[in-house]
Structure 1
Amino acid sequence: MIKNYFKIAFRGFRKHKLFTFINIIGLSIGISACLVIYLIVYYDLTFDKFHKDSDRIYRVVTNYSFSGEVGYNSGVCGPLAGAVKAQVPGVDVVAPFYTLSQVNVFVDGIGNVPTRFKNQENIILASQQYFEIFNYKWLAGASKTALNDPKQVVLTSEQAKKYFPALSYNQMIGKVVTYDTIKTSVTGIVESLKDHSDLYFREFISYGTANVVKDLKDQLQLTAWGSTNSASQLFLKLSGKTPAARIEKQLNDLLGKNTKKEKGNTQDFHLQPLNDLHFNTNYGSFDSGHVANKTTLYGLLVIALFLLILGCINFVNLTTAQASQRSKEIGIRKTMGSSREQLIFQFLSETFLITLTAVLISVGMAPFILKAFSAFISPDITSASLLQANIIVFLLGLTLIVSFLSGFYPAILLSSYKPVLVLKNQAQTGKSQTRNAWLRKSLTVTQFVIAQFFIMATLLVSKQIYYALHKDLGFKKDAIVIIHAPWKNKQLSRNLVFFDKLRSIPQVTMLSVGSDAPSSNSTMSTEMLYKDGKKEIKTDVQEKYGDENYLKLYQIKLLAGRNIQKSDTANAFLINQTYAKVLGFKNPSDAIGKMLKYNDKEWQIVGVMADFYQRSLHAPIKPLAFLVNTAIYRNNTFHIALKPQTKDRNDWKKAIASMERSWKQIYPDDDFEYHFFDENIAKFYESEQHTSTLLNWATGLSIFISCLGLLGLAIYTTTQRTKEIGVRKVLGASVAQIVTLLSSELIWLILLAFVLVTPVAWYAMNKWMEGFADRTTISWWIFALSGAGMLLAAVFTSSFQTVKAAIANPVKSLRSE
C-alpha cells in the first residue's frame, strides 16, 4: 500500500514539474535557514550545561552606583573569598581565581636552552576548589592535591602537548614551567574541555603562589575591601536547599561590616547563575570571552520561523489551487473503495516526499551557508556539526512537522470531495471555491506582511549604521594610527626613542602620546568634587590622559580657556562641555579658573572642550576630564596622524613598514601591532552590521520565496482563466486591460499587507532603536520604499505570466476549450 502511495506521488511530481519545483525550492530555503540558525542557537544555549549541579553554581559579581551612574564589574574585592569560607554558611565550595594576561612562558628545550612562548593568555591562579566545582577529566596527577601548595601548575592536555610534545602525560609530571620569573612544577594534566564552555583557561597556577610572590600578592589585594578588580573572580557552589537570595544578603552584610558607606554611592554583591554567564553583557564572561545576545538568538529563531512559514504557505497555496485538477482522481478512488483516512495518508505521504527532498537539499546547502556567514559565527560551528546526533533528531522532527503543517489542510480538503459531485464536474461548490480563494488570499497577504517587515527592518538598520559611521563624533577619525607600547615595558628611554623614530617618518604629520583614543572600550573614571559656596557637587568623571598635541591631532574643539600644557601635571586640567553643564555653568567660559577636588588635591579648570563620544552611540556622552600625566611616556599609547595618500596609494604602507622596523629595533621581544582609528570605531557596530547582513539575506530570501509562490499562483490563475481571456480579447480588450485585470487583485493584497505590517514594523523599530543613546529618525520613506519595492517585485514577477497570457492568440485558447 505504502509503495503504491509513493508511486502515485512520483507520477504526480512528473506531471506537475513546475509546481513541485517551486514547492521544493521554497521549503528547502526555509529549512536551510532553520538548520543553520538551529546550529547557531544550539551552540550558544548549551554553554557550560555539562557541569554537575550547574544550577547551584554562581559567580559573585559587583554592582555599584556613583552619583546616579550605574556600574557593573564581573570581579570582586580580594578578601571576599576568605571571608565567605569562614563566615557564610550554606556554601559547599568556594573557588576564587585570578586571571593573568600576556605572560611569557619558558620550558626546558634542547640542550637546556629554554623555549619561550610569548604573551600567553588564558592562565589563571586557581585553588583546588576550582576543580571541585567544574568538571574536568584528570589524565595525570592527584586530582585532590594538585594545587594545594605554592608554585604548582595544572595544564590542560592541549597546552601540555604544546609545551612537551614528545612526552606522555605521566612523564610531564614534575616538569618545570616558568611564568615570567615564577618557576612552577607540573602536578597535574586535565583533558581540555570538549563541550561548549566559557571556561577557556588552559593553565592553572596554584592560588597559594601569591603568598610567596610579592607581585602577585600585590595584584590580588587580599586585604583591600574597597578595591574591585575584574581579574579577581569568585565562584560559589551552594548547598542543595540554600536559596541564592540568602547567600547574597550574607555577602552584602560582610561588605557592610568592612567598608564605609558614602551618601549617594552604593556597592553590593550579586550572585550571577552559571547559565547567565554566556549572555550577560553587563559583566561579560571573562577578559576576552564571547558574550551572546539572547535577543539576537530569539530574533534569529523568528527569522527562521518566518522563512519556514513562507515555504509552507507556498505549498498550501499551490496545492489547494490545484485541487480541482485532482478531483476526478479522488472521486474514482472513493468509488473504488478508498477511505478518507487512506486518501489523507496518501496526500501526506506526497508532502513528506517533497519535504524530505527539501531537507536533503538543505543539508547540502548548509556548508555553503555556514561559509558565507563564517565572519560572525563561531569557528566551532562547522560542517562537521551537521553530523551530531541532536542535528539528525532535529532534522527528522522538522521533516515531520513541516510535512504535517504543509500537507494537513490540503489533505483534508482533497479527501473531502464527494464522488457523485466530482463525476458530475461539481467537485467545488460556490462556498468551497470562495473558502479556498479566501484562504489563498489570506496566506498570500501573510507572505507579503513578512517580506515587507524584513524590508523595513533592513532599511532602518542600514540607516542607523550609516548614521553612526558618518555622524560628527566630535573628533577626527581618519588617517590616524594607534600603537600601544608594550605594557610590561618599564623603560622610559625605550618609549622616548620610539617616539623620536615615529616623528622622523616623512608620512607622519603629528604625533601625540597619551592614554586611549577619544572613543574606545577602555574607560577610567574617578570621583571629583566641586564646591560653589552653597553646595557640593560630587560627580563620577571619566579620565583621559595626553600631551599638548592630543586635542590638535584629533581636532577636538576648545570652547573656552586654553589647551593643556606639560606643566599641568599636578594642578590643572580640561573638562568637557557636559561636565561644565553638570557643574551648573551654562556658558563654558564661566567654568575657567574654578577649582575641583581630585585625588585629595585642588585642581584648576583651565579649558573646556567640546563634547565628543567616549564610546559608541549606544552610550550617552559623560562628564570627562583631560589631564597630563607624568607617566604618559613610560607606558602608554602613541597616536599618529598620517598625511593624505598620494596617487600611488602606497604612502601609508611605507609609513607602517617604517614603524614596524623601528619597533623591532626597540622592542625586539614584542610583536608589532597597529590599528587605524576609524576601523576601531566601525568595530563598535559589528553587532549591528551582522544584524544588517542577516536581514539582507532574510529579506532577499523572503522576497524570493514570496515571488516564487506568486509566480506559481499566476500560472495557475491564467491557466484557469484561459477561456475568459480569449473571449475578452475577441470582444476588443487590449493587452494592457487584461494585464491590469489579472494584476489588480495582487495589488490590493500587497496594499492590504502594507497597511497591516506598517504599525507592527514601526513598533518593532522603536524598540530596537531604544538601544541607542543617539539615533537616526524613523523616516516615512522607509515604509513607502518597502511598500513600493514589494509591489514592483510582485508585479514584475507575475507579469511574466500575465503578459504571456494577455498576448496569446485568442483563437488558440478558445479552440483548446
Structure 2
Amino acid sequence: MLQSYLKIALRTLWKHRTHTLINVVGLAVASAACLLLFLTASFHLSYDRFHTKADRIFRPYFLSNDRAGNEGLSGSMPYPMLPALKAELPEIVGASLIRWSSGGVRYGDKSFSKMIRTCDPDFLTMFTFPMLKGNPKTALNDLGNIVISENMAKDVFGKTDPMGKSLLLNQNGTWKNFVVTGLIADFPDNSTEQYDAFIRTENIVEYGQYKADWSHSDSGMYVELAPTADRGAVEKKLSLFVQKYMAGTIKQQRENGYPKNTRGEYVSLLLEPLPDVHFDTVMTGGQGTSKTYVYALLIIGLFILAIACINFINLTIAQSVTRSREVGVRKSLGAGQGQLMGQVWGETGLLCLVSLALGLGLAYGLMPEFNKLLQAKLSLANFLTPSALLAILGGFVVVVLAVGGYPSWVVARFNAVEVLKGKIQLNRPGLLRNALIVTQFTIACLLTACTLVMVQQLSYLRAKPIGLNQDQVVSIPIGSTLDGQTALRQLRNQLADKPGIVSVSGTGVNIGAGLDGSSSRMVYGFMYNKRELMCDWLRVDFDYLKTMQIKLLQGRDVNPTFSTDSSTAILVSQSFAKQMGDKDPVGKFIQPDSAGRKFQVVGVVADFNLYSLHQQPKPIVLHLDKRWALSYMLVRVMPKNLTGAMETVKLAWKTIAPKQEFNGSFVSENTERWYRKEQRLSTIFSTAAGIAILLSCMGLFAVALISIEQRTKEIGVRKVLGASIGSLVALLSKDFLRLVIVAIVLATPLAWWAMTNWLGNFAYKITMPWWVFALTGGLAIVIAFVTIAFQSVRAALMNPVKSLRSE
C-alpha cells in the first residue's frame, strides 16, 4: 500500500514537474532564510543565559531626570557603593565593579595587547566562567594577582604552565608586575563580558583618589541576590540606600529645580537583569543589540515562511484541477476521503522533506556570507544543537500540516460522478483564497516600504554635516604597548617634511568605529555658578581643530607657545558655553573635580558630533591634560593622492612601532560604520522584500490559473460576442487588483507605525516621506498586473471554438 502511494506520488510530482519545481524552490529558499534568521535571533536571545546564576545577577543603574525633564540612565557606579551595598543589604550576597584597564602586556622580550578587566574577587564566583587552574574564591586575594584566559596563556606563555609566572601590565604609562594565580576558560561567543585577564579594582590608577567619593563614577557593577531575595523588594531598599548615601546629590537636584523621575524620586537605583544587559542600547551609547532588531529577524523569517506556505497552497490547488479525473477514478474504485487526503498530504510531506534538505544545504552554503552581513557567528554546531534540531523538526511538521491540510481537503471532496462527466467546477473564490492573496501582498508591501524608508534615513545620516570635516583624515589606534604622547611626537617628526601631509594631532576618543573595534566615552557632570554642567570630556592635542577642520568661534586655539596650554587650557563647544550662561566665556575657569585642578577657557568652537547621530550631541570640553592618555593619532592628508598618503603614514608608523600592526583607517570610513546595524537591517529587509515579491507573484500566478481554468467557457462566449483582448484582460485582472489594493491599504499604516518607531531611535531623522508608500503601492499594482496579464492574455488569445468545444 505504502509503496503504491509512493509510486503514485512520484509519478504525479514528475508529471507536474513545473509546479513541483516552483514548490520545492520556494520552500527551500524560505527554509534557508528562516533557519539563518531564527538561529541568529536565538543566538542573541541566549546571551548570558549560560551562567548558572543568571536569574540572580543584576546590573545596578541610576534613573534620574535632567533640568528639562529628560530621563537619563547611567550604569556607572562610584567606588564606595560596593562596600556600602554589601554592608547595608543582606540580600546582596556578591558584588563586583567591572571596568576596562590598560591592555599592554609584557613577558620577557615580547609585548602583547590584551583585554584586561578590573573586577572584585566576587566576580569569579558570581559568573560561570570555569576556572581551569586556581581557586576562584582566592585567585584575586592580593592586588598583585592576575587571572588569565586560555587564549592569553597560549599567546604569552606558549605550552609552559602559566601558574605562578610573573608578567608586566601597562598601568597608565607605568609597568607593574603581576603574578598569575588562575587560569580561566575563554569566554563563549554569547557572553556580554569579554576578557583576556582580570586584576583587582584597586589597581585602577585613580582608585585611591576616588575610593570614598560618591560623586565620581566610572565603573560598571554587578550584584548577586540571594536565592530567596525578590528584585522588587530589594529595589525598595535601594531607594532608602540612595537617600542615605547620596543625600547631597538629591539636595542639589531639588534646590536647582530638577523634576522627579517616573518613580517620584530625584535619583533611583534600580536593577537590570543580566540577560537584558546585551539588549541595552541606552547605557552603552548604542553599542548593545536592540531587541527590536532581534524580533525583526524573527518576524521577517516568519513572513517569508508564511508567503512560501501560501504559495504552496495556491499552487497545489491549481494543480488539483488538472488531476480531478484521477480523483474521480479512484473514488469510483472505492477510495475513501481519508485515503485521498492521505495521498495529497503524503505528496506534500515528500515535497517539504526535499525542500527542507535543500534549504539546510543552502543555509550552510550561505552561512559565511550571512555571517559577514550580520556580523553573526553561526557555525555547523549551531545547526546540530538539540534545541535547533527539535525546532527544525517541529517547524517541518507544522508546515506539512499547514500546507497539506486545505489542498488535500479540496481534492478529497470532489464529486466522482461530476468529475468523470468532465463537469469539475471549484467553488467561486471565497474568503480563504482572497485572504491568502491579501496576506502575501500585505507582507511584500510592508517589507518594501520599510526598506525604502531605511534607505532614505541612512542616506540622510551619511549626508548630514557633523560639524567637522571627516574626509582625508587617517585615524591610527596607538594601542596599549606604546605611550601615546611619545608616539604622537615621533609621528609628527616622521611626517614633518613629507608631501601630502597637512597636519597631525591626537585624541583620546576615535571618531567613528575604527578597525580596532574599541570605543570609549568620558562624561563629566559638575557645578558652575550654581548651574549643573554636563559634557563630553575629550582629550586632544595641538592642531586638533586644524586637523578636523572645526570652526573656532571665539578666543584662540591652544598653542604650544603658551606654557600653560598643555595642562590647564581648554576649548569648549558652543553648546557648553551656552550652558555656562556667561556672555563671554573666554577667560573663565571651571573645576570639574572639586578636589582637582581648575581649567581656563581659551576658546569656543562650533558644535560637532563626536558620536553617532542616534543621539543628541553633548556639549564638549577639549583639553590637553596629560593625565588622560592619547589613544589615537589623526593625520590630515591632501585629497590628490589618498592611496599614496596612506602608504606614507603606514611607513612612518612602521618606523615608530615595527612590531605592532597598523590599523589606520580613514575617518569617513569609521563614521560609515556607525550605522552598520541599520545597514545590515536594511539589507535584510530588501532581500526579504525581494523574496516576498517573487513568492507572492508565484502564488498570484497560481490563483490566476485557477480562475482562468474555471472561466474558459465564459471567455470563449465573450470572444464570440466580440469582446476585445484588452477588455478580457481587464475583466480577468480587476478582481485580483482589488485584492492587491486592499493589501496596500493594510500595509501602509503598518509600515508607517513600524518605521515611526524605528526612526525614534535617532536624534536626527527624516520626515516620513509620503511618496515611499505611493511608490510601494504603484510597484505592487504593476507587478501584480504583469503577473496576471501573462495568463490573461494567453487565455484571451485562445481559439473560442476550441474553448467552447472542450467545455
What is the aligned partner in structure 1 of residue 263 from structure 2?
A: none
Matches within 5 A, 1:437-476: 437-476=430-469
Per the alignment, do residues 752 and 353 of structure 1 end up closer, same or farther by CA in structure 2, a change over 3 Å counting? same
One-letter amino acid matched to 2:4: N
What is the aligned partner in structure 1 of residue 778 from structure 2?
A: 788
One-letter amino acid matched to 1:407: G
Range that drifts further, 401-410 or 267-276? 267-276
Contact 1:66–1:540, Cα closer than 8 Å, also in 2: no
Is 1:554 aligned to 2:548, yes or no? yes
Range that drifts further, 603-612 or 315-324? 603-612
Looking at structure 2, the residues matched to 394 and 196 of structure 1 have their Cα atoms a distance apart, in angstroms, of: 20
One-letter amino acid matched to 1:711: F
SS of 2:41 mapped into structure 1: helix
Looking at structure 2, the residues matched to 157 and 642 of structure 1 have their Cα atoms a distance apart, in angstroms, of: 42
In the TM superposition, residue 17 of structure 1 has moved relative to its aligned partner by 1.8
What is the aligned partner in structure 2 of residue 613 from structure 1?
A: 609
What is the aligned partner in structure 2 of residue 368 from structure 1?
A: 365
SS of 2:616 mapped into structure 1: coil
One-letter amino acid matched to 1:359: L
Looking at structure 2, the residues matched to 359 and 346 of structure 1 have their Cα atoms a distance apart, in angstroms, of: 20
Looking at structure 2, the residues matched to 176 and 512 of structure 1 have their Cα atoms a distance apart, in angstroms, of: 36
What is the aligned partner in structure 2 of residue 774 from structure 1?
A: 764
Give the TM-score normalised by structure 2.
0.86
Task: Describe the superposition over 1:282-340 as per-residue Cα deviations: whole angstroms up to 9, x where unpaired.
Answer: 3449xxx9732211111111111111111111122223344444444444444444443
What is the aligned partner in structure 2 of residue 391 from structure 1?
A: 388
What is the aligned partner in structure 2 of residue 689 from structure 1?
A: 679
Per the alignment, do residues 397 and 518 of structure 1 end up closer, same or farther by CA in structure 2, a change over 3 Å counting? closer
Looking at structure 2, the residues matched to 749 and 282 of structure 1 have their Cα atoms a distance apart, in angstroms, of: 42
Contact 1:519–1:613, Cα closer than 8 Å, also in 2: no
Looking at structure 2, the residues matched to 325 and 633 of structure 1 have their Cα atoms a distance apart, in angstroms, of: 79
Looking at structure 2, the residues matched to 633 and 153 of structure 1 have their Cα atoms a distance apart, in angstroms, of: 24
Range that drifts further, 267-276 or 606-615? 606-615
Matches within 5 A, 1:61-210: 61-63=61-63, 65-68=65-68, 70-106=71-107, 114=108, 116-127=110-121, 129-142=122-135, 144-167=137-160, 172-180=162-170, 181-192=175-186, 196-205=190-199, 207=200, 210=202
Aligned partner of 1:622 among 618, 634, 645: 618
One-letter amino acid matched to 2:47: F
SS of 1:263 mapped into structure 2: helix
Range that drifts further, 513-522 or 130-139? 513-522
Range that drifts further, 392-401 or 405-414? 405-414
Per the alignment, do residues 15 and 634 of structure 1 end up closer, same or farther by CA in structure 2, a change over 3 Å counting? closer
One-letter amino acid matched to 1:42: S
Range that drifts further, 465-474 or 84-93? 84-93
Is 1:409 aligned to 2:406, yes or no? yes
SS of 2:374 mapped into structure 1: coil
Contact 2:511–2:671, Cα closer than 8 Å, also in 1: no
Matches within 5 A, 1:725-764: 725-764=715-754
Per the alignment, do residues 730 and 706 of structure 1 end up closer, same or farther by CA in structure 2, a change over 3 Å counting? same
Give the TM-score normalised by structure 1.
0.85
In the TM superposition, residue 723 of structure 1 has moved relative to its aligned partner by 4.6
Per the alignment, do residues 620 and 51 of structure 1 end up closer, same or farther by CA in structure 2, a change over 3 Å counting? closer
SS of 2:252 mapped into structure 1: coil
In the TM superposition, residue 438 of structure 1 has moved relative to its aligned partner by 4.2
What is the aligned partner in structure 1 of residue 470 from structure 2?
A: 477
In the TM superposition, residue 576 of structure 1 has moved relative to its aligned partner by 4.0
Contact 2:60–2:272, Cα closer than 8 Å, also in 1: yes
Looking at structure 2, the residues matched to 62 and 471 of structure 1 have their Cα atoms a distance apart, in angstroms, of: 33
Computed over aligned residues only, the root mean square deviation of the Cα atoms, in angstroms, reads: 3.6
What is the aligned partner in structure 2 of residue 111 from structure 1?
A: none
Is 1:350 aligned to 2:357, yes or no? no
Looking at structure 1, the residues matched to 288 and 674 of structure 2 have their Cα atoms a distance apart, in angstroms, of: 15
What is the aligned partner in structure 1 of residue 499 from structure 2?
A: 506
In the TM superposition, residue 637 of structure 1 has moved relative to its aligned partner by 4.4
Contact 1:323–1:414, Cα closer than 8 Å, also in 2: yes
Looking at structure 1, the residues matched to 75 and 142 of structure 2 have their Cα atoms a distance apart, in angstroms, of: 27
Tell me the matched-pair count: 778
Is 1:275 aligned to 2:275, yes or no? yes
SS of 1:270 mapped into structure 2: strand
Is 1:245 aligned to 2:222, yes or no? no
Is 1:539 aligned to 2:529, yes or no? no
What is the aligned partner in structure 2 of residue 109 from structure 1?
A: none
Looking at structure 1, the residues matched to 124 and 568 of structure 2 have their Cα atoms a distance apart, in angstroms, of: 51
Aligned partner of 1:310 among 302, 307, 310: 307
Aligned partner of 1:293 among 261, 275, 290: 290
SS of 1:452 mapped into structure 2: helix
Looking at structure 2, the residues matched to 553 and 203 of structure 1 have their Cα atoms a distance apart, in angstroms, of: 36
Matches within 5 A, 1:634-783: 635=630, 637-645=632-640, 651-668=641-658, 670-783=660-773
In the TM superposition, residue 258 of structure 1 has moved relative to its aligned partner by 4.0
One-letter amino acid matched to 1:56: R
Task: Describe the superposition over 1:172-221 as per-residue Cα deviations: whole angstroms up to 9, x where unpaired.
Answer: 5444444454444444444445573234334344x39x4xx6x6584795
Contact 2:729–2:792, Cα closer than 8 Å, also in 1: yes
In the TM superposition, residue 667 of structure 1 has moved relative to its aligned partner by 4.0
Per the alignment, do residues 138 and 597 of structure 1 end up closer, same or farther by CA in structure 2, a change over 3 Å counting? closer
One-letter amino acid matched to 1:643: M
Per the alignment, do residues 3 and 196 of structure 1 end up closer, same or farther by CA in structure 2, a change over 3 Å counting? farther
One-letter amino acid matched to 2:113: N
SS of 1:709 mapped into structure 2: helix
Matches within 5 A, 1:315-330: 315-330=312-327
In the TM superposition, residue 263 of structure 1 has moved relative to its aligned partner by 1.8
What is the aligned partner in structure 1 of residue 261 from structure 2?
A: none
Task: Describe the superposition over 1:244-265 as per-residue Cα deviations: whole angstroms up to 9, x where unpaired.
Answer: 2333444554454444324227
One-letter amino acid matched to 1:642: V
What is the aligned partner in structure 2 of residue 224 from structure 1?
A: 213
Contact 1:22–1:712, Cα closer than 8 Å, also in 2: no
What is the aligned partner in structure 1 of residue 356 from structure 2?
A: 359
Looking at structure 1, the residues matched to 75 and 793 of structure 2 have their Cα atoms a distance apart, in angstroms, of: 65
Looking at structure 1, the residues matched to 58 and 208 of structure 2 have their Cα atoms a distance apart, in angstroms, of: 24
Structure 2: give runs of 5+ residues left out of the alignment.
259-265, 514-518
Structure 1: give runs of 5+ residues left out of the alignment.
107-113, 646-650
Per the alignment, do residues 379 and 321 of structure 1 end up closer, same or farther by CA in structure 2, a change over 3 Å counting? closer
Task: Describe the superposition over 1:39-80 as per-residue Cα deviations: whole angstroms up to 9, x where unpaired.
Answer: 101111112223223211223344555545655444422233
SS of 1:318 mapped into structure 2: helix
Contact 1:35–1:366, Cα closer than 8 Å, also in 2: yes
